Amino acid sequence: MILFGRKLGRDLREHWTQFIAVSLMAALSVLIFSGLEGGWRGIQAELDSFATEQEMPDAWVTGYSLTEDDAEQIEDLDGVDQASLVTSVPVTRTDASSEGELSLSTRDDAGINASYIVDGAPVSDEDGVWLDEAYAEANDIGTGDEITVSRGGTDTSLEVNGLILQPDKIAYTGTGLVAPDPVSFGYGIVNDQTAAELAGTEPVEQTIPILGDPDVVHAEAPGILGDRYGSFSDRDTHPHVATAYERVTQIQSLSYLFSSLFLLVALLSIFTSVRRLTDIQRGEVATLKALGHSNRLIGTYFTAVGIVAVLIGVLVGLGLTPFLSRYVLSTQQGSFSLPEWTTAYTPASAVLPVLLVVVCILASWTATRPMRKATPAEGMRPDVGRARRSLLERLRTLWQRLPYGSRWAIRDASGNPVRIVMGIVATTGCMMLLVTGFGMPDTLNQQVKLSYSEQYRYDTRLSISPLASEAMREGIEDEAGEGQWMQQSSVQLGADDSTDHMLTVLGTGDLFRVLDRDAEVIPATDDGAVITDRLSQSLDLDVGDSVTITTSDNADHEVTITAVSAISEPQGIVLSEEAWGEVGGDFTPTSYLTEEPTTEDVREMPGVTGSLTLEEQEANALTMSV
């Protein structure tokens, strides 16, 4: 054993270049899996804890002119535990050098969606506002400060009673944005009286948060609310919640994918490294056999060489794991908010290193098989090499046409299949990392530029209340100038469809253009509908197919698909105002797209619930690719 111990140290020193790849791949496999697991499991554990302790709703139903009776009817449904009514009022903060948009909501008296207090007093019926922590930090606002908000041209001063995190706004982005922008968009909680004073006589959006079975609510809510029904969402689809849960799944998938890849490369590396070492030391192995050492002992020795290399990599990977986990958490803190950002690990992080060592033992032992089978005399003779006839050699006509250099390369590759596979796997992994690291941001940038230069042509998007009267809309159009009206609402497609999709109805104009797969504009028609490509694939619909659009009032409208669009957002079905009218639909605009910049007077007009410029939307979308 002393002899083999000395030999082990000497072999590792002399042939370390062969085993550095083994240690590196083992370290990367453990680091990627355990490091990412510590991040995503930490987020998942905190999400689950936060959702449970603060009673995060299971579903949300939005609409206009909703009442407490509507919430009670939904609460009476089988499978529903609690439901309540929350009113949200969009306001503009006017006491800052740059205007910010806030969504101020009433608190849930039933205890659902309870605010997490970061600083200050608990949420109560007192006057004042409990402000979003991220917005407060970004704008240097603290407990006890006063902010001024404006709605309908009236300024209101509110004292900041505390800083909060709202369970259903952990990934709050504001209306029309795809990424959080806490400098310009935030939320807050006010009492019922303050919300009523801010809303005035204008209609505002209301939400019924629900604890219970989302499927029951989705099926029954449209019938209960009728034409006042706006949309339905659960934790998987709510725009300000789903991002956090989706991010956990994404990081988890990446950890499995890349750790498996590095594990496979590590196995191939240990196999080829041990095989090469035994080939180099044929004479030494033959001498040891001649001296009486058994095949099992010699095989165990070379396996131990591989184990040492793997163990070094495993220990390095485990040592770096906490740093990667904390880095993963730091990269997600700008995407959503949680009370705590801590790592969490499971036994899987310990099982992987053990599994890695075990399979590497098997690979190393397998690699020593030719050496163990050889006799001392065979080991003393020079190695004649290994060559195999390739499948191409059976195709005589093709084989004869290949140059000698190509035949030589093919035969060498056939004699070393493991090395060829290792090269293929390693190259595949490198390409995956390159595409992930460079290709995805480039793709996102290209898509953003396409959307905000070719698809969207407006300057400002004004959000319009669906309950705005015709006179209000005419006034908005007169003040804002030339533009295009647009309606967006949730619908179902087909009798068996249980998922909400986006219906977009476009008024006259070309500020919102629908593009085909070649980025060419699809002209508006008086009949037929355009479906987005992803929805087309998921519902198996194509040009010429008919589909039934079911609106919130349970009215059915049958349309024919005339084109497939490649627009990325919004995913759904698009019709012109004329085509929607032909099938019996009512055109109720929810947005007005303007050609020119708007003034503060326009944004404060009755019926306008918010505004967002195209420049702000593009800048926000670009933050997702950095």
Which one of 240, 265, 281 terminates a domain? 240
Q: Domain range for residue 525?
A: 454-625
The CA-atom distances, in angstroms, between 102 and each of 8, 31, 180, 464, 537 are: 68, 42, 13, 16, 37
Query: What tens digit of pLDDT does each residue of 46-82 get?
Result: 999 999 999 999 999 988 888 889 999 999 999 999 9
What is the secondary structure of 486-544 as a DSSP string?
EEEEEEEESTT--S-EEEEEE-SSSSB--B-TTSPBPPP-SS-EEEEHHHHHHHT--TT
Strand pairing partners for 580? none
Instruction: Give 414-426 pLDDT, tens digit per residue.
Output: 766 766 776 777 7
The verdict on 475 and 587 lying in the same domain is yes
Digit-coded pLDDT (tens) for 470-481: 888 888 888 888
**Residues 379, 483 within the same domain:** no
**Looking at the 3D structure of the chain, how many domains does it have?**
3
Query: Would residue 463 count as lying in a domain?
Result: yes
Q: Which residues, 6 or more positions from 482, have their beta carbon under 8 angstroms from its beta carbon?
A: 509, 594, 595, 596
* Domain co-membership, 380 together with 515: no
Report yes or no on 202 lying in a domain.
Answer: yes
Give me the helices (H) in 96-213, please: 133-138, 192-199
Pair (485, 571) in one structural domain: yes
Domain boundary among 240, 261, 286: 240
Domain boundary residue, one of 223, 240, 257 = 240
297 within domain boundaries = yes
| Whether pLDDT at 394 is above 80 | no
Contact indicator for 335, 240 with CB cutoff of 8 Å: no
Query: Within this chain, do residues 36 and 85 fall inside the same structural domain, yes or no?
Result: no
Please indicate, yes or no, whether residues 615 and 479 belong to a single structural domain of this protein: yes
Mark whether 211 and 271 lie in a shared domain: no
Residues 609 and 90 sit within 8 Å (Cβ to Cβ)? yes
Q: Are residues 65 and 183 in the same domain?
A: yes
Asked if residue 281 belongs to a domain, the reply is yes
Q: What is the pLDDT of residue 213?
A: 92
- Stated pTM of the model: 0.78
Confidence band (pLDDT; 50, 70, 90) for 208? very high
Q: Are residues 521 and 483 in the same domain?
A: yes
Spell out the residues 6+ positions from residue 358 whose beta carbon is closer than 8 angstroms to its own. none
| 62 and 10 together in one domain | no
Mean pLDDT of 38-44: 92
